[in-house]
A = this chain, B = another copy of it.
Amino acid sequence: MKWYKIFTPELKELIDTKNLKGLRLILGELHPADVVDVIKELEPTERTIAFRMLDKEKFAEVFSLFDPEEEEELLRQFTEHKVKEILLEMSPDDRTHLLDELPASVVNKLLKLLPPEEREEANILLNYPSESAGKVMTTEYVTLKTEMLVSEALERIRKTGPDRETIYTCYAIDENRILSGVVSLKDIILAKPDQKISQIMQENVHKVKTTDDQEKVAKVIQKYDYISLPVVDSENRLVGIITVDDILDIVEEEATEDFHKMAAMQLPEEKYFRSGVFKHVSGRVVWLFVLILASTISGKILQQYTVTLSSIITLAYFIPMLTGAGGNTGSQSSTLVIRAMATGELMLSQWLKVLWREICAGFLLGLALGGTAFIIATVFLRDIKLGITVGISVATVVLVGNIGGATAPLIFRCFRIDPAMVSAPLITTILDVTGIIIYFEIAKRILSI
């Protein structure tokens, strides 16, 4: 049981008995992420009361933790004044995330509520390409000047810090907002008060462009263990930062995207319950459609072997084993390679090493599985010649499947297609066709049909 379920009855009672002071106290103590969990357990009317007990800062924080669909729903229930307050209090990256999911007409109405300056900023952020650094960055960071003393810098951090996303990394900029260095709060704290920022700052700054993909941002933060990363525009001016807590969500999002691609789907951004059944189905049916057409090829090929098949009908029994062995081996080796490429361990340039490794592995796997298949088929049919046919076929299909599965992601990457598009069903379907051809060709020769 989740802890907040213990909490809910208590809150409900406070609401029932109109003990608003107690309610305010408890909600004030809770972390915004916990407030969300608790509020989701309440009835709509109770929810409204609970919302009203939050101060506007916490209100905005709690609000931004809901899913965009739920946020849209909530916005409709609030007064215009409240909506404006929330929009102003939300951090710019959370606001972009919300506006990005809303229909254009609603966005326009909401933007009109903002003062000109905020409206312009929101508009700029909204116009960056999706999944780009510009789209996920926040504009609330601490800037310093290079000629500032450490004591002055601390003073500035104290003044501007409270409503910044992070104060642990500060950015030194010149009069044109060009990024000239980065300094951590740790370095500031450990430095002498009369040192200059230019003396303690790091000048070689890792930064990303607004148009860079969020996956690149995640890789940089992960590699260098940063807490935040600066984002610059095409003229090298500092326009935002991305913090590590957003990166955690991105890493998970990207992994989910790869997962879905591997299962042959085009539902990268949706959460499971978020999309309606029709959208859910339409995202899946395209690929299933392609795959069912592809499997027609297997049928066409089987038709060509009608003579072979009808003279020895028992050959049909092993079609599932043959296609299964190839498909399973192939999807294993492609998963290993796709994943190693996604985490950055494996580069395209290492294709020869991968090929050699999977040829060796394929031989060993083929030997083991072909041997097993030979024994099964011989015992099953009491016919050693058929057993040999099945055994050799399985061994060959496993070898081919293993090499094909491992090289397909490399070939895709070579043509600049995302390797994760080499989905398990795609590999399986291709190897079905290959497997059937190999099987019947070997059968024709060994059984001299």
Contacts and interface: CB of A to CB of B under 8 A. Distances in A.
- Report how many copies the assembly holds: 2
Contacts of A288: 325, 328-329, 332, 365, 368-369, 398
A64 to B, nearest CB: 11
B328 A299 contact: no
A424 B252 contact: no
Interface residues of A, number: 111
B260 A295 contact: no
Contact of A280 (B338, B343, B361): B361
Contact of A324 (B249, B295, B303): B295
A18 B93 CA distance: 50
A248 interface: yes
B321 A296 contact: yes
A191 to B, nearest CB: 10
Nearest to A243: B225
Interface string A83-126: 00000000000000000000000000000000000000000000
A292 B320 contact: no
Interface stretch (A153-161, A171-179, A230-238): A153-161
A360 B168 CA distance: 50
A272 B336 contact: yes
Nearest to A203: B29
Nearest to A248: B222
B432 A320 contact: yes
Contacts of A252: 222, 251, 255, 343
Interface of A: 29, 31, 33, 154, 157-158, 161-162, 167-168, 185-186, 189-190, 204, 206, 218, 221-225, 227, 244-245, 247-249, 251-252, 255-256, 258-260, 262-265, 267, 271-273, 277-278, 280-281, 284-285, 287-289, 291-293, 295-296, 298-300, 302-303, 306, 309-310, 313-314, 316-321, 323-325, 327-329, 331-332, 334-340, 343, 345-346, 353, 357, 360-361, 364-365, 368-369, 372-373, 376, 380, 394, 398, 424-425, 428-429, 432, 436
